[in-house]
Structure 1
Amino acid sequence: MKFVLIYPEIRSSFPNYSGGYSEGIASMLTTLREAGHQVKLIHLTQIGHIDKHHIVNQIKEFAPELVGFSSMSPNYRHARTINHFIKSELAVKTVIGGCHAQFSPIKVLNDGFDFVCIGEGEAILPPLFAAIESGQENDIQFPGILTKKYPSLISPEKCTVNDLNTLPIPDRSFFDYPALRESLERQAQFMAGRGCPFECTYCANKIRNQMFGTYKTRMKNPQRFIEEIRGVLQQHSFIDNIFFQDDILPLNKAWFAEFASLYEKDVKLPFACNIHPTLINEEVMQMLKNMGCLSIQIGVESGCERVRTAILNRRMTNEDIISRVKMCEHFGIKVATFNMLGNYSETFDEALATIKLNAKLGPVRAYSTIFIPYPGTSINQLCNENSAYISGAEPEDFPEYTEEPILKTPDFPPEKVVFLKNWFAVLIRLYKCFPEETVDKILHRKRFPFKLINKVTKMARPWAIRLYLGIYVKFRNRFK
């Protein structure tokens, strides 16, 4: 059977974005190909380059029996638009998977998709393909496949892959691999496993853990994973650093100890990874250092303990985070932080606490995003129950987390949220260089021109403004 997968991965904040490697997509397509199916990937990375007629012509030329989509919530609008156009031009059925479809299946079906894939494609799609080949796709209810006729999920334990070692090593050639964003930075990205046991209210993993009885943390065999890494390095000699995409790389202590020993001996390329702050300890840091880890990324998300614990369900204190980051510095490992602004019920001062905490942490990079309560998450349910959306902003189409806020927040109007997001790095420097009271006083002025600055920032090149102010603050602090 022939299958085309369309992957819209649009990043409006990166005008020349060339896309990133997706382990899930590469693994699924490799699995289907090894099962005897002919598969093709259409990877869309720039909104200005979405030529619907060209997409339809590619589909006509390949002549598939099924067209698929993989989409996160911010890019669902693009998937829906392309699907409508395909349906108007071709008599072909379409299936969609990814987080958005999994957590809003009825709406997605009503938007014109024939099938919704709930779970992991390697486990779910082969039975559907067999039914399509025999003409029985409308008569059978499949685990992990929802239709208008069968809109309820059955056999959730069959919707995931229990043993990742039964899957083939993903073939990266489905992507234009040398042209991907990380490839241009001489980086290769890998995933050691799937799943996360933490239950952050804004994350898809919590609902997945509830939805699938078998959606536990699963890891690849360490030796097999090392062979996968070495194979990619041999095939792409330009790679000189690695990033592990796992939510938490050293989650399983025994697994990580074995993998760390093998990586140190057989690979030892510089790398970065994600880790939960509560899992940072001297033993893990020593293993990371021995492996050649340059930096780790942690989720701070909010510098206000009320927001972080009561709203986001990340149970750690500011002092915990500060002490763990200091431990990383002791081992010579740099730290980058993830932060969200405009959280549900967050005030302006609570958002400033996030900036102040980052000023104390001194991360090598502090990523800031505007909070979006994506469908399926418990925070989304909380926002719906409390009518927390700005009037007219109920997210029929979820925006990217770099755009405008969609939540009402007390004492924290949208212009302030956008300002803090755009100037996050500069404000960290200001709080490091000047007394907190001085910066607070300026930002709390009644006539502080948040809207005007946002307008100018949008018109000008934000990076140039930030660079100028960063240099100014640095030298002002040095010579004052």
Structure 2
Amino acid sequence: MAHFHIVYFDVDTGFYPSFHHGLAYIIGTLKEQGHHVTLDHLATLEDIPQGIARLDAIRPQIMGLSFTTNQFQYVRTFLSHEQRHKPLIVAGGVHCTLVKERLFQELPSIDALCIGEGELPMRDLGRAMDNGTDYTTTASMIFKTEKGFITNPVAPLPQLDDLALPDYTLFKYEQIIRDGGESFPMLLGRGCPYKCSYCCNHVLRDSYPNKKDYVRFPSIPRSIEIIQSNLKLYPNTRQILFADDTFTLNKKWIIPFCAEYKKVIPLPYICNARVETITEPVVESLKDSGCASIEFGIESGSEWLRKNLLNRHHSNDKIRQAFAIVRKHGIKTFAFNIVGIPFETNAMAQETFRFNQELRADYGRCFFFFPYPGSEIYEVAKKFDLLPDNLELVSGYTESPITKPMHQSHSDIRKNNERLNILFMVRSIGSKFGLHPILETVLVHSAIVFRKPIFLLLDPKSSNAWIRKTRWLIRTLFQRYLRGSNAKP
């Protein structure tokens, strides 16, 4: 049977290394077919030469590369090193699906691309290689040959119940879950029906012949089976984090799922939701089944910016209503926000700060806007000459503004990012210990004054070992004692 070696590029993103759920499902699929599978999870610059050395040592037949746009520079570095062993190199992920054949020019070492979800294409590629048949006819894949490109049709999306169970054993799962406060990230459903301009979901959806089936959930029995299988891997799990784009999207699925979850899974959980999906019956079901926190994308406090730039048409009142319903049922909230969006003014950024002050989410995070190739807002940034000259060298969206200045300076954008993240830091402490809102306000304004040393300590790009260790410790304490649940399995 074929030996698949997967290299997951997750280098210096500003996040603590975590699972890649798509790869977990691919690994499960390949193992089910009897293939030998190995994984390198590259999370630091130091991991890259080690990964190259390991490749020469294990000599796989197929090497799969998984990366986002942010990781392009590290993939190029990895492939630029001379390798004594040359496997068939297959690249996959959202970036590959968006740029397609252009990637062969950018990374000449690559032999093939996997378009869209990878379980079935990688399964079929392995079968063809084992059987000695022509693997260049594999559906959902593009191959580079001496005569040119072979572009095969994209296969229809499968039903999720037909896929193998995900396999997280090749990741450093004990460390990932433990450092996340004993919280096990999992993925059940797939796809998102919304068309946010900064996201690529609509492009991915349009890649498939059965795009109406893009949004899918496993059956409830299969969902419970996936969860129970994962929990066997780490029995000390204290909380589950469902990574589905919009866990509450399908009312006909979520309510009976909650009823069954309550019967057999004695653990609290966190999930993502859109404010449009929040209703009393849905939130009652979530609360009754152990939902501890719901994560929402607020993105901006400016309704004009959300509607005209982000293609998010809900009002601030709709957001207020959703937060009120969730808070009424005793579920905590998390607010994601973005600063540095094209056409954002400093006044709009102040709206975002004030709106988040009003919402009083228990937790939150603010990121810098990143123009992903293939997204609608990327074209806006390109049209108005906002794209940086070195976008491929940007590894994340947590450390500094990315696009060229428009109505705000980079200094202003950075300041607005820091102010919001300080607000969320203080709110997480206030939520945990019941601080009075007036005291929270005093702490926020005091921390804003001293924000430079605070963010020096939290710098995700710092090469200082002491700062990196301190940042890891702060994150671990936050996940375990501020964000994590006190419940035990």
The normalised TM-score by structure 1 is 0.84
Contact 1:177 1:183 in 2 (8 A): no
> Which among 220, 229, 232 is matched to residue 231 of structure 1?
229
Any idea what SS the aligned residue of 2:55 has? helix
RMSD value, Cα: 2.9
The aligned runs of 1:386-401 (5 Å cut-off) are 386-390=384-388, 393-401=389-397
> Which among 97, 121, 126 is matched to residue 123 of structure 2?
126
Contact 1:370 1:401 in 2 (8 A): yes
Any idea what SS the aligned residue of 1:180 has? helix
Q: Residue 470 of structure 1 corresponds to which residue in structure 2? A: none
The 1:455/1:364 distance shift into structure 2, 3 A limit, reads closer
The aligned runs of 1:122-161 (5 Å cut-off) are 122-133=119-130, 140-149=136-145, 151=149, 153-156=151-154, 158=155, 160=157
Contact 2:94 2:116 in 1 (8 A): no
Shift of 1:273: 0.3
CA distance in 2 between counterparts of 1:182 and 1:208 reads 33
Amino acid at match of 2:66: S
**Which stretches in structure 1 are left out of the alignment for 5+ residues?**
437-441, 443-449, 468-480
Q: Residue 422 of structure 1 corresponds to which residue in structure 2? A: 418
Shift of 1:151: 4.5
CA distance in 1 between counterparts of 2:86 and 2:150 reads 26
The 1:182/1:218 distance shift into structure 2, 3 A limit, reads farther
CA distance in 1 between counterparts of 2:246 and 2:22 reads 17
Q: Residue 89 of structure 2 corresponds to which residue in structure 1? A: 94
Shift of 1:43: 1.2
Q: Residue 411 of structure 1 corresponds to which residue in structure 2? A: 407
CA distance in 1 between counterparts of 2:457 and 2:222 reads 49
Shift of 1:189: 1.6
Deviations 1:412-437 (A, max 9, x none): 1111111211231335779x759x9x
The aligned runs of 1:178-217 (5 Å cut-off) are 178-181=174-177, 184-215=180-211, 216-217=214-215
Shift of 1:58: 2.1
CA distance in 1 between counterparts of 2:24 and 2:4 reads 14
The 1:190/1:141 distance shift into structure 2, 3 A limit, reads same
CA distance in 2 between counterparts of 1:210 and 1:152 reads 20
Amino acid at match of 1:332: G
Deviations 1:369-392 (A, max 9, x none): 0000111111112222222225xx
Q: Residue 176 of structure 1 corresponds to which residue in structure 2? A: 172
CA distance in 2 between counterparts of 1:279 and 1:461 reads 34
Shift of 1:208: 0.9
Shift of 1:347: 0.9
Amino acid at match of 2:94: C
> Which among 53, 63, 84 is matched to residue 67 of structure 1?
63
Shift of 1:136: 6.1
Contact 1:9 1:75 in 2 (8 A): yes
The normalised TM-score by structure 2 is 0.83
Shift of 1:187: 1.1
Any idea what SS the aligned residue of 1:39 has? strand
The 1:107/1:455 distance shift into structure 2, 3 A limit, reads farther
Shift of 1:358: 0.4
Deviations 1:209-252 (A, max 9, x none): 12223341111111121122123324422111111000111211
Q: Does 1:11 align with 2:7?
A: no
CA distance in 2 between counterparts of 1:80 and 1:453 reads 39
Per chain length, whose mean CA-contact separation is higher, i.e. which structure has more relative contact order (CA < 8 Å, sep 6+)? 2
Shift of 1:82: 1.0
Q: Does 1:114 align with 2:111?
A: yes
Shift of 1:332: 0.6
Any idea what SS the aligned residue of 1:316 has? coil
The 1:152/1:285 distance shift into structure 2, 3 A limit, reads farther
Q: Percent identity?
A: 27
Q: Does 1:355 align with 2:353?
A: yes
Contact 2:70 2:392 in 1 (8 A): no
**Which stretches in structure 2 are left out of the alignment for 5+ residues?**
428-436, 460-466, 475-489
Shift of 1:176: 2.0
The aligned runs of 1:390-469 (5 Å cut-off) are 390=388, 393-426=389-422, 459-460=456-457
Q: Does 1:167 align with 2:163?
A: yes
Shift of 1:183: 5.6
Amino acid at match of 2:140: G
Deviations 1:316-351 (A, max 9, x none): 111110121011111111110010000011111111
Q: Residue 251 of structure 2 corresponds to which residue in structure 1? A: 253
Shift of 1:51: 4.4
Any idea what SS the aligned residue of 2:244 has? coil
Shift of 1:44: 1.6
CA distance in 2 between counterparts of 1:25 and 1:205 reads 18
Shift of 1:147: 3.0
CA distance in 2 between counterparts of 1:103 and 1:137 reads 26
| Alignment length (residue pairs) | 441
Q: Residue 475 of structure 1 corresponds to which residue in structure 2? A: none
Q: Residue 313 of structure 2 corresponds to which residue in structure 1? A: 315
Contact 1:348 1:416 in 2 (8 A): yes
The 1:263/1:116 distance shift into structure 2, 3 A limit, reads same
CA distance in 2 between counterparts of 1:376 and 1:286 reads 38
